[in-house]
Amino acid sequence: ETGVTQTPRHLVMGMTNKKSLKCEQHLGHNAMYWYKQSAKKPLELMFVYSLEERVENNSVPSRFSPECPNSSHLFLHLHTLQPEDSALYLCASSQSRGASTEAFFGQGTRLTVV
Amino acid sequence: EDQVTQSPEALRLQEGESSSLNCSYTVSGLRGLFWYRQDPGKGPEFLFTLYSAGEEKEKERLKATLTKKESFLHITAPKPEDSATYLCAVRDAGNMLTFGGGTRLMVKP
């Protein structure tokens, strides 16, 4: 248990569905991240929030929409996804977005788009 | 652009057979190098942070070292439970975190 909890653990959705991934951290951290992990590819940073403000958006398609209502919660809203979006989606948090701070990860949501 | 390359991609060891994993990097102003362990279907688990060349850190059978161009994760007398994917990441002067592709380690009894 790392103090970062993601739900659901597994999700199967059709291309016309709308769903949301949830992340909650219990570590008192100020920065939260969404990463995508596809088979045989390095982790890809999607979004970064620092003190509830989005500070990074790595050219992610608009069918992915993040939301950070407070420093403990992070959501990823999904709509009209494509099969190539199937992947493990990981949430992480760190003490701050600054240097020398390690990120702690949740267990991930395994997403399958059919 | 920061780059992190891990080798080998996969490594098979017999229990007790020591070896090393490599993480080569190019980064604009290293602010930290991180090692993680990831088990199948789970999120990465933090192992070590290294900040400057010459630094070393140890945890049980694992020892991480750092030079100006690469980091090594030495595994001494590994056990089957050490089987996992080991990830390396670097944070640059702009606070961006870049991951390598990982090394999948399999330790057979």
SS3 of chain B: helix, strand, coil, percent, to 5: 5, 60, 40
Instruction: Tell me the C-alpha distance between B106 and B75, whole Å.
Output: 12
> Region A2-6: what's the mean pLDDT?
90
A85 three-state secondary structure: helix
Which token pair is A114?
């059919």
Q: Which residue of A has its CA nearest to B29?
A: A99
Measured between beta carbons, which residues in chain A are less than 8 angstroms from residue B96?
A: 45, 56
Is pLDDT larger for residue A77 or for residue A42? Answer: A77
> CB pairs below 8 Å between A and B: how many?
57
Is pLDDT of A97 > 70? no
Confidence category of residue A100, pLDDT binned at 50, 70, 90: low
Which distant-in-sequence residues (6+ apart) come within 8 Å of A113 by Cβ?
A13, A14, A15, A81, A82, A83, A84, A85, A86
Strands (E), chain A: 4-7, 10-13, 18-25, 31-37, 44-50, 53-57, 64-70, 73-79, 87-94, 104-105, 109-113
Q: Encode pLDDT of B25-82 as tens digits.
A: 999 889 899 999 999 989 999 999 999 999 999 999 999 999 999 999 999 999 999 9
Q: Which of B43, B100, B102 lies nearest to residue A90, judging by beta carbons?
A: B43
Q: Would strands B56-59 and B62-66 be described as parallel, antiparallel, or unpaired?
A: antiparallel
Measured between beta carbons, which residues in chain B are less than 8 angstroms from residue A98?
A: 95
Amino acid at residue number B23:
C
Q: Are A2 and B45 a contacting pair, CB within 8 Å?
A: yes
Is pLDDT of A57 > 90? no
Which distant-in-sequence residues (6+ apart) come within 8 Å of A51 by Cβ?
A30, A31, A71
Measured between beta carbons, which residues in chain B are less than 8 angstroms from residue A93?
A: none
User: Given an 8 Å threshold on Cβ–Cβ distance, is B91 in contact with A100?
Assistant: yes
